[in-house]
């Protein structure tokens, strides 16, 4: 595998940093190639702004169009193009971050916002002129996995847990970022109770992550529905015979109701 | 009302900026007080980092604990404390942003990450020592509303739309940010098809926003379940008799199944 490990934690002595170190070492010991984007260490600038599009000609800024134009003309910043080159190289992406306010830290959200531009990650078309999206796209053929940590207990992120099912909380990343741009989303690796982890807990989590990484090449991805496969109608609504009469994010999985038991 | 209008769009000539201008003017004409946080105009720095906690004493950084300590000792940055003061002043919050990658732009995500610290927005306790959370918390008594724009059509964000129901996509903000810290989440104001909006569309959206803002004081919030009200057990799992046998984010609403028709 050629793995890009994207890391978004401010502290080099944190539990997450030790998981990243262990993970990268394990992959290399297994013979895989690894490149890294340690966003804090790089001083990654996460804010989309006019400086990203030095060549833009339009008077009124539509961010997506300006990004697409700058991508096409090669005018995106060198920091953005370096990240795109890493993604183009990789066949596997690990997105490693602490879950803050039920999403990625700003520094990582801004990596999505600035790197995954129209024309590169999405908004690409097939030979028939159809938009390649949801199971296809600029990053098609790749696999991607979230590694994240939360302070709370596992039960509170379960199917009926107070914070919402972790699979639903991660839906914007799994389905909205990975699957939308063509990458298969692998089951997330979630560290619970991170705020109270002892040295023994940390050791156990590192061992679990090693096992997960050894299984990675064979790991079955989450099965989301396919746009090109005809699961949605012309209004981009799920066809009535699929998950008939049901709503909720789970209808977009191939086995709705197939989530972990409540 | 005392409204804090938080705006996170890079371009002063955008549809969103015109909606913000209209919204702020409308509220003032109605006799309400308005303060603003225009994050791009302010040059808001969204990245949580060690510079936020000049006084931290612990060797190993646990971000939440470091933030809490800096809040307690008054050592948070002046930019953070200014935002907290605005929140303390406000009884109503408008969070206005374009939806990028199914979430807020990084500049706004980083406003959550840096401003809503433990001890201020959450992690506060009642007289019995219980954590005030989900319907209660440091921002209790306030009401908050998302104003957002998406490029896609409304059908694609409907209950069975390909992108996921907009109410589920916004759950991390409505339930995870607003409700978690004690703020009642008002129904969101969503502009669809923003990428293709004509001048007439923009005019129509501005008129709809004016109507919504006139109704704001009477608007019924989304009804999420209450932790203090006893809807969850000691493992923070929804009690079995509530929304019995069901899973999905909708079980955390008081009227599960009460979402808009599919």
Between CA B91 and CA B2 the distance in angstroms is: 5
- Which pLDDT score is estimated for B56? 61
DSSP at A257 = T
pLDDT at A258 over 80: no
Task: Check residue A61 and give its pLDDT.
Answer: 64
**pLDDT band for position A156 (50/70/90)?**
very high
Return the sign of the alpha-carbon dihedral for residues A39, A46, B109, B50. Answer: positive
- Residues B195-213 have pLDDT tens digits of 889 999 999 999 999 999 9
Nearest-Cα distance to chain B for A108, in Å, is 8
If we measure between CA atoms, which residue out of B116, B183, B111 comes closest to residue B145? B183
Residues facing A2 on adjacent strands: A33
pLDDT the model gives residue A217: 96
B259 contacts on A by Cβ (under 8 Å): 247
ipTM score for this prediction? 0.95
Closest CB from A48, A161, A232 relative to B10: A48
C-alpha span between B40 and A27 (Å, rounded): 40
A120 pLDDT more than 90: yes
Q: Which of B158, B236, B243 faces A156 most closely, judged by CB atoms?
A: B236
Q: Find the Cα–Cα–Cα–Cα dihedral B92, B96, B102, B104, rounded to 10°.
A: -90
Q: What is the mean pLDDT of chain B?
A: 93
Burial class (CB in 10 A: 0-12, 13-18, 19+), B138: buried
**Which one is predicted more confidently, A12 or B215?**
B215
In this structure, of A90-104, A122-136, B24-38, B204-218, the range with the lowest mean pLDDT score is A122-136
CA–CA distance, B121 with B60 (Å, rounded to integer): 24
Nearest CA in chain A to B161: A237
Substitution target in A8, A44, A101, A116 with the highest count of B β-carbons within 10 Å is A101
Instruction: Say which of A101, A151, A168 has its CB closest to residue B113.
Output: A101
For residues B205 and B200, give the distance between their C-alpha atoms in angstroms, rounded to a whole number: 9
pLDDT in tens, B13-51: 899 999 999 999 999 999 999 999 999 999 999 999 877
List, in sequence order, every residue forming a beta bridge with A38; answer none if it has no partner.
Answer: A7
Interval B243-253: pLDDT, tens: 999 999 999 99
H helix count then E strand count, chain A? 8, 8
Q: Do B156 and A109 touch (CB under 8 A)?
A: no
Helices (H), chain B: 15-29, 39-42, 63-73, 78-89, 106-115, 166-169, 171-173, 199-215
pLDDT tens sequence across A196-247: 899 999 999 999 999 999 999 999 999 999 998 899 999 999 999 999 999 9
State the smallest CA–CA distance between residue A193 and chain B in angstroms: 13
Q: Which domains does chain B show, CATH number per domain?
A: 2-220 (3.40.50.360)
The mean per-residue pLDDT over the stretch B81-94 comes to 98
Region of A193 please: left (phi>0), alpha (psi -120 to 50) or beta. left
Q: How far is residue A182's CA from residue A108's CA, in Å, rounded to a whole number?
A: 19
Chain-centroid distance of CA A112 in Å reads 9
User: Is the model's pLDDT at B57 over the cut of 70?
Assistant: no
Listed residue (A97, A63, A54, A85) closest to A188, CA to CA = A97
pLDDT at B261: 42
- Put simply, the answer to whether B237 touches A104 (Cβ < 8 Å) is no
Q: Do B172 and A176 touch (CB under 8 A)?
A: no
Report which of residues B53 and B109 the model is more confident about. Answer: B109
Strands (E), B150-199: 184-185, 189-191
Lookup result for tokens 């006084």: B55
A163–B176 C-beta distance less than 8 A: yes
Mutate to test the interface with A, among B158, B236, B241 (most CBs of A within 10 A): B236
What is the pLDDT of chain A when averaged over all its residues? 93
């Amino acid at each position: 595998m050629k793995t890009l490990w994207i890391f978004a934690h401010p502290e080099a002595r944190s539990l997450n940093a030790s998981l990243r170190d262990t993970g990268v070492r394990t992959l290399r010991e297994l013979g895989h190639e690894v490149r890294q984007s340690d966003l804090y260490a790089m001083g990654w600038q996460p804010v989309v702004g006019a400086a990203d599009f030095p060549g833009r000609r339009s008077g009124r800024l539509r961010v997506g169009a300006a990004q697409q134009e700058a991508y096409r003309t090669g005018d995106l910043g060198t920091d953005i193009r370096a990240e795109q080159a890493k993604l183009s190289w990789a066949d596997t992406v690990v997105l490693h971050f602490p879950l803050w306010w039920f999403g990625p830290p700003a520094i990582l959200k801004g990596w999505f916002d600035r790197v995954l531009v129209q024309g590169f990650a999405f908004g690409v078309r097939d030979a028939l002129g159809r938009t390649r999206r949801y199971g296809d796209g600029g990053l098609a053929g790749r696999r991607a996995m979230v590694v994240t940590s939360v302070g709370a207990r596992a039960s509170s992120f379960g199917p009926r847990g107070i914070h919402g099912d972790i699979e639903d909380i991660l839906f914007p990343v799994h389905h909205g970022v990975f699957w939308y741009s063509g990458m298969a989303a692998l089951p997330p690796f979630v560290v619970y109770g991170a705020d109270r982890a002892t040295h023994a807990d940390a050791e156990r989590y590192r061992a679990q992550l090693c096992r997960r990484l050894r299984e990675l090449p064979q790991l079955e991805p989450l099965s989301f529905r396919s746009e090109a496969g005809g699961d949605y109608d012309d209004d981009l609504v799920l066809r009535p015979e699929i998950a008939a009469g049901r709503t909720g994010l789970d209808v977009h999985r191939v086995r709705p109701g197939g989530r972990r038991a409540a």
